[in-house]
Amino acid sequence: MSTTLKSMMEAANAAVKRITPAEARELIAKANPLIVDVRDAPEVVKTGKVAGALHVSRGMLEFRACPDSPYHDKAFAKDKTIIVYCASGGRSALAGKTLKDMGYTEVYNLGAFKDWAESGGTVDHPIESGM
């Protein structure tokens, strides 16, 4: 039997707690988490990202999170709290499950960037081209 997107999403949502923007702000205030934006670059350029977030597109996550990879980003530490988000919550759920499968234990899914922005969460906006 092959895996379906539905079964992958069910497993991801069961493994990674979905948090609200308010809960994310609490975690940011007390845990100094790594916030990871897993959207594609054009999405980030268009809307900005959660203030202080690290942009790692979903396709590069495993390479950036694995200490043995030549593309490893030292911001990823297995003892660090990690909050992931995307445009709607699907990619971030899958990303969170991947991180958990890789041994990261404190992983949360913030879900949709727009929910963060609309709730008054701070946003880093991209620099306008030509500036």
- Annotated catalytic residue within 35, 56, 65, 86: 86
- Does any domain span residue 3? no
Chain position carrying tokens 């234990």: 105
> Rounded to whole angstroms, how far apart are CA atoms 110 and 21?
7
Q: What is the mean pLDDT of residues 121-128?
A: 84
Helix (H, G, I), strand (E, B) or coil at 117: helix
**pLDDT at site 1:** 73
CATH number at residue 79: 3.40.250.10
**pLDDT at site 127:** 65
- Does any domain span residue 124? no
- Does any domain span residue 35? yes
Q: CB-based burial of residue 2 (10 Å sphere; 0-12 exposed, 13-18 middle, 19+ buried)?
A: exposed
**Mean pLDDT of all residues in the chain?**
94
**pLDDT at site 126:** 78
* Contact (CB, 8 A) for 19 and 108: yes
- Does any domain span residue 129? no
- Does any domain span residue 126? no
**pLDDT at site 128:** 59
**pLDDT at site 131:** 41
Per-residue pLDDT tens digits for 67-121: 999 999 999 999 999 999 999 999 999 999 999 999 999 999 999 999 999 999 9
Q: Across the strands, what pairs with 112?
A: 86
In the chain, the number of structural domains is 1
What pTM, to 2 d.p., does this model score? 0.93
Q: Which domain does 34 fall in, by range?
A: 11-119
Task: List CB contacts of 9: < 8 A, sequence separation 6 or more.
Answer: 90, 93, 94
Per-residue pLDDT tens digits for 37-76: 999 999 999 999 999 999 999 999 999 999 999 999 999 9
* 86 in active site: yes
- Does any domain span residue 1? no
**pLDDT at site 123:** 96
- Does any domain span residue 109? yes
Sequential DSSP letters for 49-110 = EETTPEE--GGGHHHHH-TTSTT--TT--TTS-EEEEESSSHHHHHHHHHHHHTT--SEEEE
- Does any domain span residue 111? yes
